[in-house]
Amino acid sequence: MDISNGSVLISGGAGGFGGATARRLAALGAKVVLADLADERGAELAAEIGGLYVQTDIMDETSIQAAIDAAISLAPLRAAVIAHGGPPPPDKGGRTIGRDGSRVSIAHFAHLVSVYLVQAYAVSSMAAQAMATNEPLASGQRGVIVNTASIAGFEGQPGQVPYGAAKGGIISMALNLARDLAPLGVRSMAIAPGTFLTYAYAQMGANKAQETFGPMVLNPKRMGEPEEYAMLAQQIIENDFLNGTTIRLDGGQRF
């Protein structure tokens, strides 16, 4: 799909995955809208790429709709990349039953599922609704949704029950959403990253993060770079025959 005359919405657009993807898609001529709460990073990146930063609370449908409307005001919405995080959970996580005998709360579980699955559905469905009104391209396509899963959705580790459940839902949603949206000419895909050097890991120091997590990767022996996520997101958007599945992007990492 050619997005040079379209707009792209990226939730989490000021983050590692979102920012790298924004740069790539802007270079293709897309009008990129960064939906995030990181005002300083978002505004700087928008200025760099000639895009638009829209302060967006991913937990609020009205706020999401405002970001979508901003994208539509620039050009027909052709792609949505869902790469957001969210507010911290209300209490601590960990193993379902911790060493002290306490369990992870329902509130903690529900919060992570809401951030990573429910709100991903919100952005996906609201963006798809907008795409459905587009004039189809010569290929018959109107748009594409790219969600962000995780290898934790396939092989969650101790302490990852809520997160793994949410990301497993993203994996399941990729095909179901593709089937629902097929009559509209809208595709649905998901990327399942392994261990990547995004902002969360970079805060501990890039060298320390690489030393700690790089050896877990089969080959190459390093953490993934956000640019590698962006490369795959671009290919998904441009290649109309990629639909209804989740692609692992993990250097062969298995637990």
pLDDT grade, residue 253 (50/70/90)?
very high
Residue 120 lies in a domain: yes
Average pLDDT over residues 189-215: 88
* d(C-alpha 100, C-alpha 118), whole Å: 31
Residue 207 lies in a domain: no
* d(C-alpha 239, C-alpha 228), whole Å: 17
Residue 216 lies in a domain: no
Q: Which tens digit of pLDDT belongs to each residue from 126-149? A: 999 999 999 999 999 999 999 999
Which residues are annotated as catalytic? 163
Q: Would the pLDDT of 33 be above 90?
A: yes
pLDDT grade, residue 208 (50/70/90)?
confident
Q: Would the pLDDT of 57 be above 90?
A: yes
pLDDT grade, residue 62 (50/70/90)?
very high
State whether residue 84 is helix, strand or coil.
Answer: coil
Residue 214 lies in a domain: no
Average pLDDT over residues 158-162: 96
pLDDT grade, residue 63 (50/70/90)?
very high
Query: What is the largest distance, in Å, between two alpha-carbon atoms of the chain?
Result: 61
Q: What is the CATH number of the domain that holds 62?
A: 3.40.50.720
Tokens 């590692």, located at residue: 16
Residue 255 lies in a domain: no
Q: Could you tell me the residue range of the domain that residue 52 belongs to?
A: 7-197+226-249
- What pLDDT is recorded for position 199? 80
- How would DSSP label each residue in 137-175? -TTS--EEEEEE--GGGTSPPTT-HHHHHHHHHHHHHHH
- How would DSSP label each residue in 84-120? ---SPPSS---SSB-TTS-B--HHHHHHHHIIIIIHH
Both structure tokens of 17: 């995955």
- What pLDDT is recorded for position 201? 79
Both structure tokens of 206: 């890039």
Q: Would the pLDDT of 104 be above 90?
A: yes
Q: Which tens digit of pLDDT belongs to each residue from 216-225? A: 999 999 999 9
- What pLDDT is recorded for position 206? 80
* DSSP count for the chain of H helices, then E strands: 9, 7
- What pLDDT is recorded for position 9? 98
Average pLDDT over residues 216-242: 97
Q: Which tens digit of pLDDT belongs to each residue from 70-88? A: 999 999 999 999 999 999 9
State whether residue 191 is helix, strand or coil.
Answer: strand
C-alpha distance from residue 159 to each of 46, 164, 181, 234 (Å):
36, 9, 34, 32
Residue 221 lies in a domain: no
With contact defined as beta carbons under 8 Å apart, do 220 and 194 qualify?
no
Average pLDDT over residues 40-55: 98
Average pLDDT, the chain: 96
- What pLDDT is recorded for position 140? 96
Residue 217 lies in a domain: no
**13-27, 95-109, 164-178, 204-218: which has the minimum mean pLDDT?**
204-218
The total of structural domains in the chain comes to 1
Average pLDDT over residues 160-165: 97
